Amino acid sequence: MSFGKMNKFIEIKSIQNVKDEDGFSTKQEITVARVRGYREGRHGSEKWANRTTFTEATDLFIIRAIPGTKLSTDMTILCDDENFEITSIEDVKGKNMYIEILAKKVIQNG
């Protein structure tokens, strides 16, 4: 993946329970990472046709691996002012260089 294709700013967030000074627990979005990456929307290519039987993902994200950071499907992505739920995470070719993330767009009601 060339650096020129990684032109989107991607923010990966986690929702965690945080205790305030009075000891009450509240849910808060914590930014895990801010990275540049590649985003590809779902379209009619053969690659996406093969994925449709396995996932409800609407977008594919590719980012460089982040040393010391464990990504999970409990996290969300913010890209281009749109929120995405992560449905799967895969190490591309098992080389720990790039991470492929399939995500489903979250549509806000209101």
Domain span at 79? 8-106
Look up the pTM and report it: 0.77
CATH of the domain at 61: 2.40.10.270
Is pLDDT of 90 > 80?
yes
Q: What integer is the mean pLDDT of 53-59?
A: 72
Q: Label residue 110 by pLDDT band (50, 70, 90).
A: low
Contact between 33 and 11 under an 8 Å Cβ cutoff? The reply is yes
pLDDT for position 34: 94
Contact between 59 and 105 under an 8 Å Cβ cutoff? The reply is yes
Is pLDDT of 44 > 60?
no
Q: Label residue 2 by pLDDT band (50, 70, 90).
A: low
pLDDT for position 55: 65
C-alpha span between 64 and 20 (Å, rounded): 34
Asked whether residue 59 is assigned to any structural domain, the reply reads yes
* Count of the separate structural domains present in the chain: 1
Residue carrying the six token digits 């627990």: 25
Asked whether residue 2 is assigned to any structural domain, the reply reads no
